[in-house]
Chain A
Amino acid sequence: MAAVLGHWIDFLSGIGFTLGLVALGWIGALVLGTLLALMRIGPIRLARLIATVYVLVFRNIPIPVQMVLFVFGLPLVGIKLPLFPSAAIVLVIYHAAFVCETLRAGVNAIPAGEVEAMRAVGFGTFGVMRDLVIPQAFAAVVQPLGNVLVLLVKNTSVAAIVGVAELTFVADQVAVEEVQTLVVFGGAALAYVILCVALKRVVSVVGRQYRVAR
């Protein structure tokens, strides 16, 4: 126990980095994912193609591979970014593909009649997207989006591979240093589980609020 308490500052900063990655990753993934989903269902062919290819590529390359390529590969072609932003960008790129797929499932749940009704009263493509498709698609997929969020929380640990000092990285270092494997990893695991369970709770409350009566 003393091993963990003696390193409480390390753990706190580790949790801080993890939460920072989660926040940045989630905001970025929501924005990029929504944009991709709109491109994918919109009337412009080339945009549809780009979004489809994006999802195929970035969803299917494992995130450790993307992390290593981005952090160790890009400097080889002259693009040098600091470590923490690189890790956040990789998290955004990977999870945006999942957000896009999830939202598309939500769009498919919208009855065609509602879209036709909107058009009949004079809304254009943009108006339909803004006032019908986006709100309803989000409301329909609150729960699945919550699963993507939990996936993101767990995947922030992959940043440890390239040396971002987030919770998993700190836990490994402290465990090696103090030879107290069970306590250290147990504590870190507890932090992740609490975070995931708390987020799931929040998501289910939000989901109940936005449930669409059909």
Chain B
Amino acid sequence: MAAQLFEIPGPKAKRRNAFYEGLALLVLAGLAYLAIRALVSNGVFDAAAWAPFKLLGVWKQLGIGFFNNARAAVVAMLFSMGLGCWLAWGLVARRRAIRSACRVYTDIWNGIPVLLSLFFVSLALPALGLDIPDFWFLVISLSLYSSAAIGDIVSSGIESLPRGQSEAAVALGFSEWQKMWWILLPQAIKVASPALVSQLVIVLKGTTLAFVLGGYFDLLRAATVLGAYFSRSLLQAQVIAALAFMIVNIMLEYAATRIETKIK
């Protein structure tokens, strides 16, 4: 549809578009020149600044950092899938009290920043005498938020299913419990799978909040620690971290769109 928003350009419009394109190219080249000059004059491209990245150990540390991000994201995603399915069940329950209780939960945790709950969990749990590693602080606070989001996603998946599915399950003598877990939820999760992959991207992005914990060696922390050892390479390490997240997230989003076209 987007392609129909403008006429197929005629000779005059083609010349005009080419002119704008040339203008944009000039501006872009000028900006790039200024940026590169600033970077070069601050020694960003000096061999010394990139020398640490010839060491295998540096890449290993960065790899461990990213692995820690991915580990926290996967565990938090599993927890929030489990909790989110129960929530989705509650959100479409026949009893009003259950519905509104679940609605309150999702509204609250959808409105609280993960960083706030991360601060809270990391202060409150040790105060209660729970001596657990920072990894679990991250997983708990991410799961609290993400389960609410997944509850919403899966419950709208359930509502999108044809009514006949539910009626057929009742007609065949399935209990309320069997109807939900054998008939409705599996289909709802399939329908919602693109949104669930996008949620995984959100959770993976959220794991970078571990930076504030100080005790969790995630990728951003790994880059910062490298910057402390090789003081000229801080920026380089952080840019590499950003690129790593970017590439992985783009691949996940691509997978989500692929799944979406496959389902339809």
Could you give 7 example pairs across A and B, Cβ below 8 Å? A60-B245, A62-B208, A77-B38, A116-B4, A157-B115, A175-B123, A176-B123
> How many contacts between A and B, using CB within 8 angstroms?
169
Contact at B111–A73, with CB atoms within 8 Å? no
* B6 with A60: CB separation less than 8 A: no
A196, closest chain B residue (CB): B111
Using an 8 Å CB-CB cutoff, how does the interface string of B1-40 with A read, 1 for contact, 0 for none? Answer: 1101111010001000100110011001000000000110
| B 234-260 contacts with A by CB, 8 A | 234-235, 238-239, 241-242, 245-246, 249-250, 253
Report the minimal beta-carbon distance from B222 to chain A, rounded to whole angstroms: 12
- Are A154 and B5 in contact, with the CB atoms below 8 A? no
Which B residues contact A (CB, under 8 angstroms)? 1-2, 4-7, 9, 13, 17, 20-21, 24-25, 28, 38-39, 41-42, 44, 107-108, 110-117, 119-120, 123-124, 127, 201, 204-206, 208-209, 211-212, 220, 224, 234-235, 238-239, 241-242, 245-246, 249-250, 253
Q: CB within 8 A of B238: which of A68, A176, A193?
A: A68
Chain B residues whose CB sits within 8 angstroms of the CB of A44 once the complex forms: 17, 20-21, 24
| Max count, chain B CB within 10 A of own CB: residue among A79, A128, A129, A172 | A172
Cβ contact within 8 Å between B38 and A79:
yes
Report A's interface with B, CB cutoff 8 A: 40-47, 50, 56-57, 60-66, 68-69, 72-73, 76-79, 104, 107-108, 110, 112, 115-116, 119, 125, 128-129, 133, 150, 153-158, 160-161, 167-168, 171-172, 175-176, 179, 181-182, 185, 188-189, 192-193, 195-197
Is A154 a contact partner of B114 (Cβ separation < 8 A)? yes
| Complex-state Cα separation, A45 to B13, whole angstroms | 13
Q: Which residue of B lies closest to A182 (CB)?
A: B124
Residue of A with least CB distance to B41: A78
Q: Are A154 and B17 closer than 8 Å at their CB atoms?
A: no
Residues of B within 8 A of A193 (CB): 107-108, 111-112
Query: B10 to nearest A CB, angstroms?
Result: 11
B25: nearest chain-A partner, CB-CB: A46
Which 6 pairs, one residue from A and one from B, show the smallest C-beta to C-beta distance?
A196-B111, A157-B113, A62-B205, A60-B249, A193-B111, A185-B120
Instruction: Given A77-B39, A154-B111, check contact A61 B21 (CB 8 Å).
Output: no
A63 to B211, CA, bound (A): 12
Q: Does B5 contact A128, Cβ atoms closer than 8 Å?
A: yes
CB-CB under 8 A for A77 and B5, given A46-B21, A64-B211, A196-B110: no
Q: How far is the CB of A51 from chain B (nearest CB, A)?
A: 11
Bound-state CA distance A176–B68 (Å) is: 27
**Contact between B1 and A107 (Cβ–Cβ < 8 Å)?**
yes
Known: A119-B7, A125-B6. A192 touches B239 (CB 8 A): no
Q: Which of B6, B116, B249, B253 contacts A168 (CB 8 A)?
A: B116
